[in-house]
């Protein structure tokens, strides 16, 4: 991480130098939550792992999928992030929290903006208040590229949530650290275009494509889980972690999916342009050009440091940042990236997506 040196937030030491974590995951039955729960069960430093979500059927399926834990670390807690009292009850005894609960389907939230605000923004506020009241050591919130210069309700609601989490570091008295991670859509997660395209390609039908100029960042679920684990353990509070990722052209992904389902065909996918949807961008941005004064290159990732932690005047962080400040005017966009995936590389990466 960029700051803090040897200081670590929310760590619990038990016995003879044994580091343990009691983790609660909001949105624990979503794509990320499920992957995180599976991975965390394999970590020796996890003493308790709590899934917090509002869908009992998904919890039942996840419990069956995970099976019985010999160490009896698993807990399933029905609740909604809109309910602060329920959150506060669930957080008792928790040292680390991962906030993944969100409503995120862009067109649906454009039509139902109040529901997006209730879950994504007010839910974030409830979690902040509950975590401070209970004394959770570290909270890591999942943000999104759509929070950067937002053009839709989902992005605007997540930008507000991101600001709430980072500003909360001034309220926790140093006992509760709030960090955010920001990345684009994880390929293969819920809502991903890959399953739809696979079915269309297998049926020799045209792949629906919004705009053939579109570019995106590629991030795997394993990379997303590892980034959150890093933030949980090393997060100092008040920073946004942004991974360095390769870009790809959406038309190239369409070609890779088509070739995957039709191995003997040429690199010539059938696709049809359906037009860009309301609230959709041609290219992803993970760091806006307005954020460069507070952005640092930390080698494997960038960090945007929240300047409000020291009050209205902000504070200088140069002395405590191990990374280097990015150049003036820096921005991180999928269409201006240095790293690009080829069609063959995309096809290889598709093998890891069920």
Q: Catalytic positions, please?
A: 146
| Whether the Cβ atoms of residue 184 and residue 219 lie closer than 8 Å to each other | yes
DSSP 63-132: HHHH---TT--EEEEE--TT-HHHHHHHTTT-SEEEE------HHHHHH-HHHHIIIIIIHHHHHHHHHH
Nearest of 289, 283, 259 to residue 350 by alpha carbon: 259
3-state DSSP assignment of residue 174: coil
Nearest of 69, 19, 25 to residue 50 by alpha carbon: 25
Q: How far apart are the first and last CA of the chain?
A: 32
149: left (phi over 0), alpha (psi -120 to 50) or beta: left
């Amino acid at each position: 991480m960029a700051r803090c040196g040897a200081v670590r937030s929310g760590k619990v030491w038990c016995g003879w130098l044994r580091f343990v974590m009691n983790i609660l995951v909001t949105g624990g039955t979503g794509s990320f939550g499920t992957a995180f729960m599976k991975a965390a069960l394999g970590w020796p430093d996890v003493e308790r792992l709590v899934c917090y979500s509002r869908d009992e059927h998904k919890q039942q399926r996840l419990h069956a999928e995970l099976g019985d834990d010999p160490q009896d670390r698993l807990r399933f807690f029905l609740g909604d992030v809109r309910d602060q009292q329920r959150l506060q009850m669930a957080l008792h005894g928790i040292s680390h929290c991962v906030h993944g609960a969100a409503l995120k389907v862009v067109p649906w939230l454009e039509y139902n903006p109040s529901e997006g605000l209730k879950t994504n923004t007010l839910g974030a506020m409830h979690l902040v208040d509950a975590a401070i009241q209970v004394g959770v050591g570290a909270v890591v919130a999942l943000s999104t590229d759509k929070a950067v210069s937002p053009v839709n309700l989902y992005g605007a609601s997540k930008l507000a949530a991101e600001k709430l989490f980072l500003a909360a570091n001034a309220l926790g008295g140093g006992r509760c650290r709030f960090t955010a991670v920001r990345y684009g859509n994880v390929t293969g997660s819920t809502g991903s275009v890959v399953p739809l395209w696979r079915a269309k390609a297998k049926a020799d039908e045209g792949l629906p494509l919004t705009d053939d100029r579109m570019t995106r960042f590629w991030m795997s679920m394993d990379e997303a889980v590892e980034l959150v684990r890093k933030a949980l353990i090393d997060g100092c509070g008040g920073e946004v972690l942004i991974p360095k990722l390769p870009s790809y052209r959406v038309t190239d992904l369409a070609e890779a999916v088509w070739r995957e389902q039709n191995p003997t065909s040429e690199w010539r996918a059938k696709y049809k342009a359906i037009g860009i949807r309301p609230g959709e961008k041609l290219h992803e941005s993970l760091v806006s050009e307005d954020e460069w004064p507070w952005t640092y290159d930390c080698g494997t990732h960038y960090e945007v440091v929240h300047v409000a932690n020291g009050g209205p005047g902000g504070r200088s962080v140069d002395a405590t940042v191990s990374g280097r400040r990015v150049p003036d005017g820096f921005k991180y966009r999928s269409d201006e990236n240095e790293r690009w995936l080829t069609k063959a590389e995309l096809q290889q990466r598709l093998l890891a997506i069920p």
